[in-house]
Structure 1
Amino acid sequence: MKAIEFMNMKKSHEVQAMSELICSIADHYGLKQVIDVGSGKGYLSSFLSLKYGLKVYGIDSSNINTHGAKERNRKLKKHWKLYHIQSRGDASELPFKMAEEIKLKKKIKCKADFEEVCNDSPANQEKMSASGVLPNTSGSAVSNIRKQMENLRVQPLEEENLCLENAFSLIDFLPVNAVEPASSSQVRNREMSEASTGRRSMTSESSESSIYSPVTSFIKADSELHDIIKDLEDCLMVGLHTCGDLAANTLRIFTSKSEVKGVCSVGCCYHLLSEEFEGQHKECTQENWGFPMCHYLKKESWCCGRNARMAACLALERVTLGQGLPTESLFYRAVLQNIIKDYYGIAKCDRHVGKIYSKCSSFLDYVKMSLKKLGLDESKLPEEIIMEYFKKYKPRMNELEAFNMLKVVLAPCIETLILLDRLCYLKEQEDVAWAALVKLFDPVKSPRCYAVVALKRQH
């Protein structure tokens, strides 16, 4: 069953990569329960439940998302059962068939390369020589993180690393020196048990343990999981693109609740983070802030500010490939702000224009629609005045583009600061055995590609 059949390309890429890592960590601890925080439409939760047989609770603050996730999961189950019936006969032979296909492809490739060399073309011989010398850098990211988990000395497990080859690239998967090397006595080969292999099998029968239960609840740092999940047991907490403070609160729940043995969190929407030392919050009595989290940055009273956090959400890799910034829409928005300030005397406003650029045929149309959405009298502003503003600022459009390109270049610096703050917070906790930033997704497909992964000590 391909996830792409039920999700767009971006979501499919994220769900397949993250679910495989989550299942590997769950197998490492022998866990069957997963809590998906900010589960949204339930794509990750459904996939973890249906493909890997895990008992998943998807918690989201939106009642609409919860009901939608239930209905979507019902449809997924229906298709999954149909697939299961069709594939039951030959499913047990699938890994071996795939292995044979890989061997056959390699054999065909070798034969083709040999025929090229037989042509006695210098270019062909040079090409063949190079391909023989270069090492094969492909492999499984999940296998790599398993090696890191081997340093924690848990019960030996049996592993069958079937069909994981070439699933990910090892390049940029873990940062250099992310984990301190363990002594040779601590490192041992370990594999998943036959029981966990059976549990992960796509062809295993549905059981009561492999369910997905969407729950509506607002999660805070001090939320009591027992009040939300009645049958709470040792579990893994995950979050795919948890917005703003939810990413920070997910890590706080992980460190404070003994039942949560591991965490895998991919944050997003840095502009929604609350900052303890931001000027406007000086009189606020809030206890848990989105940034900073670690002792060092708290001691230094570190502050980014909303503009910097907005910049952290930009996608450098996409811009590098020419997908670019929406310069014209940003230009429209900038000129609109000047018009509102000059003609309506409004410098700041709580209302938002939103994403209306794609719905407008011209700048004139954009201004009229924006004024209507903001509740401002558009009759006060003649069309001639609107176009005069457009002509006045049009020559400066290249300045705006240069400014935004500068923001794009600085974006990774700000995002890295926020992510390292979270990593340092985890490394400050005594009960955390291992923590790292994992480049889990392709940054072009999914710009917020880093997962914060941490495991607790086993007593």
Structure 2
Amino acid sequence: MDLLQRRLDDVLCYLAPHWNFVNCHMVNYSTDKHWLQFIPEAIRAEFHTIDDINKAIESLIWQSDRDSQRFPVLAKFLAAAEHERLQAHPELLTTVEQLEELLAAKRQSELSIKEFMSAKKYHEVERTAALVNKLVHGTAIEPSASYIVDAGDGKGYLSSRLSIQYELRVLGIDANASNTENALSRNRKLQKAWNGLTERAELQSQGITPPRRGKKSTTTAATIVPPSLENYKTTARFITTKLNLTDLLVDHFNIQPTDIKPSICLTGLHTCGNLASTCLRVFHAQENCRLLCNIGCCYHLLREHYSQQEFFGNKALMDMQTDYGFPLSSYLQKRKVCLGRNARMLAAQSIERTIAAKELPNITLYYRALLEVLVCRHAPHLKNELQVGKVRKFANFQEYVQKCAEKLNEPWLAAVTHDELEGLLDEYQQDRHYLELFHLLRMSFAPVLESVILLDRLLYLREQGYANSFLIDLFDAVISPRHFAIVAIKS
């Protein structure tokens, strides 16, 4: 706990002068002069032309050159942010291999079975399912008493893999009833195709090119008995600490009073917003929850205890929350640590994926900032009030404004002349390039902010006495930006 507390102290100390920066809104970039307000003067002094901006992005962002002679202050700024990321502190992380050694789990060769999902989802499901299976079989739990509860089951990607490939009994819980119905339908289709998928994976593992789909194979794999349909159940519930998971398992799997009490592994792949925090609380509150494996996401939907200015698009769902999602640890609660909604939104962005793709912000970001200039000119009472959302299929700024006027039903916006819009583009033409660098510099804080959320969750588990609680870098960060898993084991 001391190590976690010191790391949190260091991260919060680093973030202290930057809270307004990470909580600013890109919508106000031009109106509130963000470049002057948030970028340190020593960094601004390194930039005089658009060419400077482009070269800094190429060398310092895309190529990660930290020995830049041309932009030394900016290079130092970026290096400082990198030092605060979790990956720079391996003493806080546990690898899957280290966990296997702790569990004394036998390493198994895993078939790479590709089925009905995107490459991203396949990567996530395969690694999460393998980890859950290791946890279940690597702990001293009677196999006949083991059950998986998948929180935020969604379409059942993870649950299906656990129930079919690993033959584990799984109860998928999702707040949306239509999700549970679709998950069962998908599971039935997957079961029908499973033998063929397994056969193809086995051939590929031997370096053999399998026959085209639809052609009958001459191998004996087709005689494999399909896995039981009884392994996977679903229910539509909103998860809180008061939802008794043992009772749900008894109802859905017909567990008899004479049976061994179920031992639950509570898992969740990209549990949204507060659900991740709730899962940690459920794990602690319910005795039969013996294992936890949670990967969270959607930090902007966390219900913060000490944040005053919040906006939730999914207000009905958020109103159902009974607990705060951040901070969880008493250490941060005593300090009344507050992130802020915009900071949490930023925490969910992926600097790794942006750098890998050399991806500059979409032109919409620049156009939206210019739109806010028009708001301040013509309807100042609406500053920071317009929720534009996504605008699609526009060829230029004029078309973007026209679509916004129609979408928002704002006559004053539709009345803005072509000449004024052209004049606005001329006036702020350099802003587009400076905005691009500003956006990337702000994104450098994303993994730092995420580390506060994740370390708070891990510290919460340690405070509750779970010495066997771990933070595992589970996915490829470029493929799956939310790539850290929280794992805990009750002794």
TM-score (norm 2): 0.64
Quote the Cα distance in structure 1 between the aligned partners of 2:374 and 2:240. 40
Q: Percent identity?
A: 37
Correspondence for 2:313: none
Could you give the per-residue CA deviations for residues 255-290 of structure 1, whole angstroms, max 9, x where no partner exists? 111111111111111111111111248xx9986211
Could you give the per-residue CA deviations for residues 143-190 of structure 1, whole angstroms, max 9, x where no partner exists? xxxxxxxxxxxxxxxxxxxxxxxxxxxxxxxxxxxxxxxxxxxxxxxx
Would you say 1:253 and 2:282 are equivalent positions?
yes
Give the aligned length: 344
Correspondence for 1:213: 233
Correspondence for 1:441: 475
For 1:236, the aligned partner's letter is C
Correspondence for 2:151: 37
Quote the Cα distance in structure 1 between the aligned partners of 2:340 and 2:439. 17
Would you say 1:64 and 2:178 are equivalent positions?
yes
Q: RMSD of the alignment, in Å? A: 3.0
* 8 A Cα contact 1:434 1:456, kept in partner: yes
Correspondence for 1:264: 293
Correspondence for 2:134: 24
Correspondence for 2:382: 346
Residues 323, 42 of structure 1: CA spacing in aligned structure 2 closer, same or farther, 3 A cutoff? farther
Correspondence for 1:77: 191
Quote the Cα distance in structure 1 between the aligned partners of 2:131 and 2:296. 16
Q: Report the CA distance between 1:370 and its aligned residue.
A: 2.5
Quote the Cα distance in structure 1 between the aligned partners of 2:129 and 2:427. 52
Quote the Cα distance in structure 1 between the aligned partners of 2:228 and 2:326. 42
SS in 1 for 2:468: strand
SS in 2 for 1:52: coil
Would you say 1:300 and 2:300 are equivalent positions?
no
SS in 2 for 1:279: coil
Residues 356, 423 of structure 1: CA spacing in aligned structure 2 closer, same or farther, 3 A cutoff? same
For 2:284, the aligned partner's letter is T
Q: Report the CA distance between 1:214 and its aligned residue.
A: 2.7
Would you say 1:224 and 2:252 are equivalent positions?
no
Q: How does 1:147-162 map to 2 (within 5 A)?
A: none
SS in 1 for 2:275: helix
For 2:373, the aligned partner's letter is N
* 8 A Cα contact 1:36 1:239, kept in partner: yes
* 8 A Cα contact 1:438 1:451, kept in partner: yes
Correspondence for 1:273: 302
- Match of residue 332, structure 1, among 361, 367, 370: 367
SS in 2 for 1:54: coil
Unaligned runs of 5+ in 2: 1-110, 208-222, 254-261, 311-318
Quote the Cα distance in structure 2 between the aligned partners of 1:32 and 1:323. 45
Residues 208, 397 of structure 1: CA spacing in aligned structure 2 closer, same or farther, 3 A cutoff? closer
Q: Report the CA distance between 1:381 and its aligned residue.
A: 3.1
For 1:16, the aligned partner's letter is E
Correspondence for 2:486: 452
Could you give the per-residue CA deviations for residues 5-27 of structure 1, whole angstroms, max 9, x where no partner exists? 31111111111011000011111
Q: Report the CA distance between 1:450 and its aligned residue.
A: 0.4
* 8 A Cα contact 1:48 1:56, kept in partner: yes
Residues 290, 429 of structure 1: CA spacing in aligned structure 2 closer, same or farther, 3 A cutoff? same
* 8 A Cα contact 1:327 1:401, kept in partner: no
SS in 2 for 1:214: strand
Residues 220, 362 of structure 1: CA spacing in aligned structure 2 closer, same or farther, 3 A cutoff? farther
Quote the Cα distance in structure 2 between the aligned partners of 1:203 and 1:24. 24
Quote the Cα distance in structure 2 between the aligned partners of 1:420 and 1:203. 45
TM-score (norm 1): 0.68
* 8 A Cα contact 1:217 1:228, kept in partner: no
Quote the Cα distance in structure 1 between the aligned partners of 2:178 and 2:415. 39
For 1:220, the aligned partner's letter is T
- Match of residue 390, structure 1, among 425, 449, 457: 425
Structure ranking higher on relative contact order (CA contacts 8 Å, 6+ apart): 2
